Structure 1
Amino acid sequence: MKKILLLLAGVLCMLLGLFFAIVPGPSLIFFMAGLLCFSFDYPKARHYLRLCQKALTKSCRYLDKKLAR
């Protein structure tokens, strides 16, 4: 039952992420939440979640440096 709920939540978050990629909104947050739900059962999703986290951290550091000037 728990696995099914996690998968449904992951699918819902991914669909919302796709919707907000077309319409202005927080698409990245929903994509990462979907990957988080999928990462409990699928190691490949865990890998993609780590890649997204690293890319987001790198881009935030870059923006912090640019805004600090």
Structure 2
Amino acid sequence: MDADLEHLQEDAGGCPGNGFLGTKFARAAREMEALVSDLMVDQPLFWLLTASLFGFLLGKRLLRKN
């Protein structure tokens, strides 16, 4: 099993997306996930008000008489 692990570690550098752009994209995705999770936990009132406003504007637009 140790030989298999060594083989996987050697091949880890050859993964596609492991370049500069892939690393930056992965870091940005992790930061975005952390930001959204923080907002979901810390700011439920913000999301409730945002969803209410969006629903109001969408409903107003959909129910407008032509």
Q: TM-score, normalised by structure 2?
A: 0.42
Q: Which has the larger radius of gyration?
A: 2
Bigger RCO (CA 8 Å, 6+ sep): 1
